[in-house]
Amino acid sequence: MAQVQIFRSDQVSIGVTVAGMSLPNESWDVLEGAEKTVEGLTVMPGGQLPQRALGGIAKRGPATVKKLWSAPILLVYKELEETAGQALITITYSVKPSAKASAVFSETYTGITGTVSRPNYDAEKSEVAYMTLMADLDGDSQ
């Protein structure tokens, strides 16, 4: 199983657009997942030969983006929640340039919105509160 990749807003700029909605333009805070995985196929060739892998179908795993819970997010949360399972979503991340690398690398994922979750509050903890948006992605990225 592939290790989950995690990008934070101090490493990359994360943009999210949902068809038919106007989301805040600031970079989202965290992007997790979106790994390309393969549903492998292994066969037994017979004659007591060892199993052979034949490859498989490549697919992209789900992505999760998080945004700090704030007044602008609160205003779009309910509307965003209504898009779950039906709206087209585009998630783009661009690696921020550094002193060593002047070129900017970016990748775009497309798919359908999934579960939208508001933060769970616990008065005894001082954790950062995020809204979480999951997306079921198409197989390719751009």
Q: What pLDDT is attached to residue 1? A: 47
Q: In the predicted model, what is the mean pLDDT of residues 50-73?
A: 84
Asked if the model's pLDDT at residue 8 lies above 90, the reply is no
Q: In the predicted model, what is the mean pLDDT of residues 77-86?
A: 91
Residue tagged 């038919």 (tokens): 20
pTM above 0.85, yes or no: no
HSE-CB for 89 with a 13 A CA cutoff = 27
Residue tagged 């060739």 (tokens): 45
Q: How confident is the model at residue 126 (pLDDT cuts 50, 70, 90)?
A: confident
Q: In the predicted model, what is the mean pLDDT of residues 82-103?
A: 82
Q: What pLDDT is attached to residue 31? A: 92
If one looks up domain 6-141 in CATH, what number appears?
2.30.110
